[in-house]
Amino acid sequence: MTHTTDYALLNKQLHALLDTRDWLTNSAQLSAFIFEQIPDLNWVGLYLHREPETLCLGPFQGKPACHPIPFSKGVCGAAARSSQTQRVGDVHAVADHIACDADSRSELVIPIVADETLWGVLDLDSPKLERFSAADQAGLESLVALFTQRTELPRFIEAP
Ligand code: SME
């Protein structure tokens, strides 16, 4: 079944929800909002670039997850290294996929960049194969762009 999520509506709702500039509050709201509004997800959350070449677990919804994740590993690591969204239709086809939850079958990871430095990534997991379409990727990237614009993102580490 094809999902048709109304991302324009979600953008309006998220804009109203992010009414502080605080990164922790807004990160928690972002993950809870996406988990509630977008069907067929088993995990949504942020990994933060708080240590060099390392992603540290941040606010999330779902089961307890892997921490830390080095830039060298997994789908999140690939997003962090490349600063490019990673859309994986079948995680079993990715040799170094990090399985935090055996139920996950597809994944979308969107980098969050501030001042030309990777600040973190938003990671979404689904128990369905091929859950994320190109339209979902564009829609979720627009929600991340809104989050970035509405939030004071602290510099966790010095730029290299
Ligand atoms: N699957 C990810 C790890 C994070 S969990 O899915 C929450 C990866 O391969 O990077």
Q: Which residues contact 109 (CB under 8 A, 6 or more apart)?
A: 75, 76, 78, 79, 85, 86, 121, 122, 123, 124
> pLDDT category, 1, cuts 50, 70, 90?
low
Q: What pLDDT does 157 receive?
A: 84
Q: Is the dihedral of CA 28, 68, 103, 94 positive or negative?
A: positive
Q: Which residues contact 75 (CB under 8 A, 6 or more apart)?
A: 86, 88, 91, 94, 97, 98, 107, 109, 123
- Distance from the CA of 37 to the center of ligand 1, in angstroms? 21
Mean pLDDT over residues 93-119, rounded? 94
pTM: 0.96
Q: What pLDDT does 50 receive?
A: 96
pLDDT of 82 > 70? The answer is yes
> pLDDT category, 2, cuts 50, 70, 90?
low
- Distance from the CA of 93 to the center of ligand 1, in angstroms? 14
pLDDT of 109 > 70? The answer is yes
- Where does ligand 1 bind, in terms of residues with CB under 6 Å? 43, 65-66, 69, 74-77, 97-98, 100, 104, 107, 123, 125
Mean pLDDT is lowest, of 13-22, 51-60, 110-119, 150-159, for: 150-159
pLDDT of 150 > 70? The answer is yes
Q: Order the strands of the 86-88 sheet from edge to edge.
A: 69-70, 54-62, 43-51, 117-126, 106-114, 86-88
